[in-house]
Amino acid sequence: MTRRTFAFQQRLTKNTGGSVLEIPHTAVLKYATPDELISIFKNQWGVAPEAVVLPVTNPDGLLFPIEGLSEGLSAYAANLGSSIKDFPDAVLRFADLGLDVYLLIDPTLPFLNSDPLQLIDIVGDSSRQLCIGNSRTQDIVASILGTGVDIAIETTKKTRGKLRGVVIDLANLWPMGGDNSRLELTCFCPSCEAFLENIKPGLVRKFKTFPNPWNLVLQVSDTGIGHINEIRRDDGPDEIVGLSRLKGFHKAFEDNSVPFLLDQAQGALDYIEARHTQVLFAARSIFDQVLSGLDMPPRRILLTEGMYYSWTAGLQLERLDSKSNVDGRDSSFDEVWFDIRSSSLSLTNVEHRAYMCSRGHYYIDAFFHLAANASNAEARASTGIGRVPPARLKEMLREMLAKAMASLMTGQTSLGALQDMKSVESSSQRVGFVGVGITKEIGEKFIEGLKVAPGLTPSGESTGVPDIESLMRLMIAQGVQRERDNNE
Ligand SMILES: [Zn+2]
């Protein structure tokens, strides 16, 4: 009997273009060869990748030396496999196979020891993670990504694959914490405060009290932080108060009068707008340096979450969708990658690629950041992670790996469900998809091979994995250090 092809299959064949394989961490190359990763990708998506994304740093260190940065290289910077001895080699192997290359940077650079550039939360506590709002951080990020670009251009001179784009991972720029219904958001370092105040004078003062406008849209609970992400570009104070009432968050305020709540809502909207502006400004400053003087500049890409407002990326997705963002003098990027969940949330003016993992890079980053913290002696001595015994840390890593694996969308069904590709017949601006090259087996081998650094005296209360947002904050919060200083 002949089998017919239906709309779904026809759509699928049109939807698979622009396929990109992402290597989230160079450790992946230690446990699988480029050919194996390409064949896993083919099995998952029914199509071979046209390009590869390689990181230019790992959470535990640099992948190549940078003049002026004294930190050592990542434990996974060299001897990744029999055929790959370093970063240029990794670029070469994929480009030789005909894949174009994208380079990705996670601008939080948790391995750098630079107190003046670190995140500071609203109550003044600092973190082991750099603030992208500081222009010195932007310079460091640009010098690492720019050096990666130079290496990739040099390495791909004679290969079929060429450098095609540079990506900034914005998933976790602003980690959040909370304590007793008090929200501790980042970042309020001097450069952030100056930027926010410049955009909205008087803004910072509104948040240095409790309760404050965040309490209308965020809530600390036993299991983490509840958020309202449905904050649309055109929402006004009325809509925010409505959403807050729906969730019951407004009960944080004693004064429940309408004028008071509307004023708080305006404060929250001002914060969201100012933070969004700040992130784009920082990205632009990095891209400008990275691309300066290049004859054939690669595409500038933002990787964020598929939510109307991402609290940890500080971006309002719909606000990115204006022509002026990508055309002309003010353009700050060329393409956006995000996880596409529902057809109503999409970009109609700006080219974008479906990132096939929910919350964008967030869970993947969380897993590799935890691994980097577990193996870093200094992080173990100075952050909340230091009190977790080594065996328990490995267990937590396995749980985080399971979460990251569960966040991956794999299989052709999810591709078929995406909106059409950009073409003459379709007005869609989707130019492809990105699939993450990690499997449970690779992740388990990585955990197995990881050397956990000795920690502090265990606190004994570490049962269960805290929700991911609290964990991200715990990993970088320098609370243990503070506690010790006080005791001395
Ligand atoms: Zn800052």
Q: Residue 437's pLDDT is what?
A: 95
Alpha-helix runs per DSSP H in 228-297: 237-247, 258-291
434 pairs with which residues across the strands?
Answer: 20, 355
CA of 116 to the centre of ligand 1 (A): 10
Rounded to an integer, what distance in angstroms lies between the CA atom of residue 264 and that of residue 352?
34
Burial level of 371, CB count in 10 A (0-12/13-18/19+)? buried
Name all domains of the chain by residue range, CATH numbers in brackets: 19-173+283-487 (3.20.20)
Which is nearest to 476 in space by CA: 109, 145, 204, 73?
109
Cα separation, 284 vs 301, in Å, equals 11
Find the 174 Cα to ligand 1 centroid distance in Å.
9
Any bridge partners for residue 167, and if so which? 104, 301
CA distances 39 to 36, 61, 410, Å, are 5, 29, 14
Q: Evaluate whether 443 touches 407 at the Cβ level (below 8 Å).
A: no
User: Containing H/E element for 403?
Assistant: helix 390-407
Tokens of 245: 């009432």
pTM: 0.93
pLDDT for position 361:
87
Amino acid 141: pLDDT: 98
Task: Tell me the CB-side half-sphere exposure of residue 328, using CA atoms within 13 A.
Answer: 5
CA 112–ligand 1 middle distance (angstroms): 15
Q: What is the pLDDT of residue 479?
A: 58
Distance 120 CA to ligand 1 centre (A): 6
If DSSP codes are grouped into helix, strand and coil, which group holds residue 363? helix
> How far is it, in rounded angstroms, from Cα 162 to Cα 47?
20
Q: How far is the CA of 42 from the centre of ligand 1 (A)?
A: 41
Name the DSSP letter for residue 252: G
Structure-derived torsion over alpha carbons of residues 50, 56, 60, 66, reported in degrees to the nearest 10: 160
Q: Cα of 125 to ligand 1 centre, how many Å?
A: 12
- Residue ranges with CB less than 5 Å from ion ligand 1: 131, 133, 187, 189, 192
Using alpha carbons, select from 353, 348, 290, 340 the residue that is nearest to residue 50.
Answer: 353
What is the per-residue pLDDT for 385? 80
pLDDT tens for each residue of the chain, 488 residues long: 788 888 888 877 777 889 999 999 999 999 999 999 999 999 999 999 999 999 999 999 999 999 999 988 999 999 998 779 999 999 999 999 999 999 999 999 999 988 899 999 998 888 889 999 999 999 999 999 999 999 999 999 999 999 999 999 999 999 988 887 889 899 999 999 999 999 999 999 999 999 999 999 999 887 778 889 889 999 999 999 999 999 999 999 999 999 999 999 999 999 999 999 999 999 999 999 999 999 999 999 999 999 999 999 999 999 999 887 777 777 899 999 999 876 577 889 999 999 999 888 889 999 999 999 899 888 888 777 888 888 888 999 999 999 999 999 888 888 888 888 898 888 889 999 999 999 999 999 999 999 988 877 665 555 555 677 777 777 777 754 444 344 43
